[in-house]
Each structure stands twice: as structure tokens, then as C-alpha cells.
Amino acid sequence: MVENVRELLKAHEGLKHEVYLDIENSSFVPEEVVEAMLPYFHRRAYGNPTLTHKPGWEAYEAIMESAQKIARYLGCKSLEEVNFTPGETEANNLALLGATLLMRGKRGKIVISEIEPLSVIHVAEMLTKYGFTVVKVPVNSEGFVNLEKLKETVDGETVLASFSTVNHEIGTVQPIEEIAEIVKDKNPNAIVHTDASDAYGKIPLNVREKGVDMATISSYKILGPRGIGALYVKEGVNIERILEGQIGTQKLWPGVENTPLIVGFAKASETVFENFEGNVDHMRRLRDKLIEGITDTIPEVKLNGPKGEKRAPDNVNMSFLRCEGEALTIELSLNGVYVSSGSACTRRLLQPSHVLIAIGRKFEEAHGSILMKVTRVHTEADIDYVLEVLPKAVERLRGITGSTVVE
């Protein structure tokens, strides 16, 4: 396996242009974010923030200032509502497990959509072993939650509802305020959580206006460092820790805080929000250029998810008929374009995306899908290069398979 990877890496030598669009799975970190983090590794604030010495006090100050920034961008009431975690997966686990731990001996209904991230779906399914009932609300062909089905599903037995503000694969912007209102009307005591990782820094997001009790955000999806995220927990909403250990500044996540990553998360947030409208407009232009360029130059393609304002400004998810997604990612990689496929999206198994199947895509359409996300630092030249490489890659692979589309 190692030798195969080395051969693939050798094949990439000498690339003149590289465009990384796989922000769904990881991200590069811009220089200004790296520079903001560096002093906290070795020059200052390298102490434990709970200890009474200068490096500890510096760390405490850096963490609190970072939390204050992120709280402001989220529209929180106070910085105490921001709880740092090692990432989106951990925050989603904390939200669902932390809420249900308080319900010992009291079981109820958990309501989610069919297209939630796996860190929500798998946790919800696990909770069925402990007596909870899980109901997955269907979505339409663009990924929007069926609100009538939601109204029929939520009742006095509903204890928790979790719906993403923006879908991580197809960019559908859910009417999360309306979803939260439906849940609260049926049961005011139900806790409403949203994974807002693909909304933070992409669409206007004020957690108090959204009406949610908890919200997950992630650093790397705004070009911050990997390994850090946060869970907003509304003041007055009680959840329990899911891990035990030394408690520092983060009462819901024990252990010594990773000050450099927290500072990097705050710096990435600052970079996004200091020119929020300009950044969003830039991403939207690149998104539309990429979608239009693909549909104009490549036959037999389908856009997955909605168009225009109903879609996140960074998201491009296309199905290329008669083309296998994993093969296309490799072909593009050899030409310096890095994307992810709608197949093999879980546990490295070659299986179609549950999101694409839920919106009605056939297996072959899901297997032939490619997910690309643009960022504030991508350029017109980057998109031009993708549109130069992608049609050739698709044509080559279709020529190899020689198959026809079955409608």
C-alpha cells in the first residue's frame, strides 16, 4: 500500500498548477492564520490555562479572547456559550449524547433528516440501543426537509431534533428557523441542535435568531486549522459531558486546551467576517462559473442540490454520467485538481452517498458524483484551470468505459 502511494505521489511531480477543492474533508491553512498561531507554540501562552503562572495566564487570555470573537460572529449572548471541541464530529457527539445523558430513565423520540452528516446519523442510531426512537424525516429532490412530514413526526415525546443549517454535500440551505419553530411549537421542552459547520462563514448565521439551542461549527471549513471546532450551547440549556478528566476553561470538554488551534480558529473567523459580504460574493461567483462551465462543456451531467440563493455559495456537486467518481478523482489529481467523490465517502467503502440516494439519485449517478468547494482564496484562474482539465478527464474515462447511459 505504501509503495502504491509513493508511485502515485511520484506521478504528481512537476505539476505547474494545483487547485485544492476538497474542503469538505480537509483544508489548507492560509499564511495569515499560520502566522497568528505560531507564537502560541513556543513564545507565549504555551502553558495550561488553569495554572497560576505567566504562560498559563497568557493561554487563558488567548482562549477567552478567541471565544469572545467567535461568540460575536455567531450572535451568542456571551462567550460562555462557546464550547471548544476537537472538531465537528466531537461537537455533534457532544450535542446528541450530552443532551440524552440527562434523560436517564426517560426515553423519547429523536428527529433528524435523512441527509444529516454521519456524526449525527450514527450517534442517533446508536441511541436506539438505549430505548430512544429515531425518526428520519424525508427530503425532496433538492434536499429540503419535508416540513409537513416534520409536523406529523414531532410530538410531545420528541426530546431532541437535529437538522443541519446547510447540507455538507449538496449545499442545501434549510429553513432552520422554521424547522426550530415547528419543533418548539409541538414540544417547547425539546432541544433543537443544528450542525452549522457548512453555514458558518458562508451564509448569515445568528444562533439566537435561528431559534436553536445548540449549534456545531468547524474550523477547517473556513480555512482554519484542523482539530478544532466548537459547540454553541444556549444559556440555560443543560447538557452533560461525555468525557471525564481534568476540567479547564471548557466545562463540557475536559483536558488541556489546544491554545494555538483555538487562536487559529478565531483568526480564520476574523478573516472571514471582516469582509463577509465580499467573501461570500466572491465564492458565489466562482461557484456559478464552475457550475456553468461544467454544464456548458460536458454533456450528461447533473447538478445535485438546489440552484442560486437556496444553495451555499461555496458548494458544487455534480454527477457525471458514464463516469466513475473514484476514477475521476484520481484522474483529476494527476492533473493537479483535488476533489472528493460521492462514492467511498464513508469508511473507505465503495458505497454511494446517503445524501444523493435520499434526494433520488440512482446508484450510478451517485457513484459518478464529484464534490467541490470553493473558498475566499481561490481565483478565477483556478476555476479556469479546473474547466480546462475536467472535460478532458471525463472524456478520457468515458472513452475507456465505452458504456451508455441507462435512463
Report how far residue 359's alpha carbon sits from residue 34's, in angstroms, rounded to the nearest whole number.
Answer: 39
Is 323 tagged catalytic?
Answer: no
User: Cβ contacts of residue 68 below 8 Å, gap of 6+?
Assistant: 79
The closest alpha carbon to 258, from 90, 88, 86, 89, belongs to: 86
How is residue 386 written as a grid cell? 479546473
What is the residue whose three cell numbers read 505547474? 16
User: Cβ contacts of residue 213 below 8 Å, gap of 6+?
Assistant: 191, 192, 193, 233, 234, 237
What is the 8-class DSSP label of residue 311? B
How is residue 24 written as a grid cell? 469538505
User: What angle, rounded to 10 degrees, do the helices at 259-273 and 54-74 form?
Assistant: 30
Q: What are phi and psi of 159, to 5 degrees?
A: -105, -25
How is residue 55 written as a grid cell? 504562560
Report how far residue 7's alpha carbon sits from residue 232's, in angstroms, rounded to the nearest whole number.
Answer: 44
Instruction: Specify the DSSP element, H or E, that contains 208.
Output: helix 207-210
The closest alpha carbon to 79, from 66, 95, 63, 68, belongs to: 68
The answer to whether 224 touches 265, Cβ cutoff 8 Å, is yes
CB-count burial class (<10 Å; 0-12, 13-18, 19+) for 305: buried
Instruction: Specify the DSSP element, H or E, that contains 193.
Output: strand 191-195
Instruction: Specify the DSSP element, H or E, that contains 178.
Output: helix 176-186
Task: Tell me the Ramachandran region of residue 186: left when phi exceeds 0, alpha when psi lies from -120 to 50, beta otherwise.
Answer: alpha
The answer to whether 181 touches 211, Cβ cutoff 8 Å, is yes
Report how far residue 35's alpha carbon sits from residue 293's, in angstroms, rounded to the nearest whole number.
Answer: 36
* List 150, 328, 345, 359, catalytic entry: 345
Report how far residue 53's alpha carbon sits from residue 186's, in angstroms, rounded to the nearest whole number.
Answer: 51
User: Cβ contacts of residue 175 below 8 Å, gap of 6+?
Assistant: 144, 145, 147
Residues with a catalytic annotation lie at: 345
